[in-house]
Structure 1
Amino acid sequence: MSELPILEHENLSNTVYATLCDALIKGRFQPGDRLRIREIAEQLGTSVTPVRDAILRLAHDDAIVFQSPRDIRIPILSKPQYLEIRAIRLRLEALAAESAARVASKADIETLTAILAENEKALVDGDRLKGTELNQAFHFQLSKIADLHVLNGILRRLWLQMGPLIADAYLEGGRSMIDFHYPIVEAIKRGDPEGAARAIMDDIEKGGRVILARVSVAAA
């Protein structure tokens, strides 16, 4: 587990929860990782109480498995669980992409292009953590461009489970983790909603083959 930032906010329970959500979504944990409440509290500079509260909320979100205070882990999804999440993402992220294609400004397209450029560097550097974070940033930027706040919230809930999976498969996935993003940007440049939707569905299905393979092996 990578280090987490020290917190200085007053509402620690909500802040710890938000911090751990962000860490999950950005791939700072991997499937099967064990979480220790006291260790996380020390990293964040808090008492154990807000961390324990956040852990219980994450268990309710199905983002972690809480067997006991001494056995808290990042879940290892079954193949049916992964396929269900993927099916939902296909519909929702296609909506985000096609909506973004209708309204994207030149600045929006430049932002997506900049994320891709940074992601290329992370891939060359073999930086799994940075690459996973940039992959998430690209996907979430589409709903941000489309100004779909409710959709963004739903996607965040799904990505609590997707972040660790993507992080686990990122280096093995190689160029498949980024190559399918380029057609999405090109479709948005053309103002082609249907093309953008098709492109992101290709990214989720074809770019995610390495993830599906890992899930299938774990389930065997």
Structure 2
Amino acid sequence: MENTLDMVLHEHDNKGDWIYTQLSRDLMNGVLLPNERLKIRELAQAMGTSVTPVRDALLRLVHEGALSLSSQRDIRVRNLSLQEYLEIRSIRFELEGLAAANAALNATVQDLNKLKHLVAQNEISLSNKDYKMSIALNQNFHFELCDIANMPILINVLRQLWIRIGPLIAQAYQHGERNMINYHYLILEALENKDPQAARVAIQADLMSGGHLLLQMKEAEQNLKLSENQAMI
């Protein structure tokens, strides 16, 4: 039987896990943007909890590389460097290619209908310029492929990458618009044909196409920093 202290600690863990999950989802869906500051007390008030589980969840995300901590009062969404972005893109290229290939072998009619619905909803969101919804639908599409592939370990690995890359994708999404989902139709076609190689190629083309804009942004950012550093010399 749990004593009072055990019950308090268990409740704290549950709150901390819930807050961590909520913040992770906000990072993956691009609700939080690069360099955005997260204030512990404001988050605690918004989530109806004390500051302790919020602080614990934030520190957990700092440890995972999604947030940066320059002081106890300055916790921000990490702004990935160009090198970090390229590394994450390379890893996603291989892992999401693997997921798409396996999804092509496993996909049922129900799975395909769900993916088609996500793409159709994304078209509506883009036409309405509802980029927050569009970003969330895009993320759902990518993770639905992993679910169809029946690769739960891979999903956990990709989640760690998406909590880092999600804010950057969101920053670029409205500039890319339909280019961000064009290849989703080729992925659907590959799954309908049960063609794993075509599915792999299509998802990798999707990453490279959407990533082109992200790469331009990071290169411009890096060049600006170099110019500023040279001006200070």
Q: What TM-score comes out, normalization by structure 2 length? A: 0.89
SS at match of 1:207: helix
Percent identical pairs in the alignment equals 46
In terms of fraction of residues, the more helix-rich structure is: 2
Q: Which amino acid aligns with 1:130?
A: M
Q: Which has the larger radius of gyration?
A: 2
Which deviates more from structure 2 when the two are superposed, residues 15-24 or residues 193-202?
A: 15-24
Tell me how far apart the structure 2 counterparts of residues 77 and 10 of structure 1 sit (CA, whole Å). Answer: 29
Task: Find the aligned partners of 1:115 and 1:146 in 2 and give their Cα distance.
Answer: 17
Q: Match of 1:3?
A: none
SS in 1 for 2:70: strand
Equivalences for 1:144-183 in 2 at 5 Å?
A: 144-183=147-186
AA of the residue aligned to 2:17: N
- 2:76 aligned with 1:73: yes
**Residue equivalent to 2:231:** none
Question: Which one-letter code corresponds to 1:40 in the other structure?
Answer: L
**Equivalent in the alignment of 1:35:** 38
Letter in 2 for 1:186: E
Offset, 1:84: 0.2
2:141 aligns with one of 138, 141, 152: 138
> Aligned partner of 2:73: which letter?
R
Task: Pick one of 110, 122, 126 that aligns with 2:125.
Answer: 122
Match of 1:219 in 2: 222
- 2:91 is matched with 88
- Equivalent in 203, 208, 212 of residue 206 of structure 2: 203
Give deviations 1:127-182, integer Å, cap 9, x for gaps.
11101100100000001001100000000000001110111111101111111111
Tell me which amino acid in the other structure corresponds to 2:63.
H
Indicate conservation of the 8 Å contact 1:17/1:54, yes or no. Answer: yes
State how far apart, in whole Å, the 2-side matches of 1:176 and 1:207 are: 7
Aligned to 1:4: none
In the alignment, is residue 44 of structure 1 matched against residue 44 of structure 2?
no
Q: In 2, Cα distance between the equivalents of 1:214 and 1:168?
A: 9
Instruction: Give deviations 1:44-81, integer Å, cap 9, x for gaps.
Output: 11111000000000001000001112111111111111
How far did residue 207 of structure 1 move? 2.0
Secondary structure at the counterpart of residue 170 of structure 2:
helix
Count of matched residue pairs: 213
- Counterpart for residue 12 of structure 1: 15
- Structure 1 gaps of 5+ residues are 1-7
Q: CA deviation at 1:82?
A: 0.3
Secondary structure, aligned partner of 2:66: coil
Kindly indicate whether the alpha-carbon contact (under 8 Å) linking 1:96 and 1:142 is maintained by their aligned counterparts in 2. Answer: yes
Corresponding position of 2:7: none
Cα pair 1:96 1:148 within 8 Å, conserved: yes
- Report the AA paired with residue 150 of structure 1: I
Residue 113 of structure 1 pairs with residue 123 of structure 2: no
The offset of 1:9, in angstroms, is 9.3
Q: How far, CA to CA, are the matches of 1:219 and 1:149 in structure 2?
A: 36
Q: Deviations over 1:1-30 (max 9, x none)?
A: xxxxxxx99710111111111111111111
2:5 counterpart residue number: none
1:82-128 per-position Cα deviation (integer Å, ceiling 9, x unaligned): 00000000000000000000010000000000000010011011111
Q: 5+ unaligned residues in a row in structure 2: which ranges?
A: 1-10, 224-233
Distance (Å, rounded) in 2 between the aligned partners of 1:76 and 1:212:
13
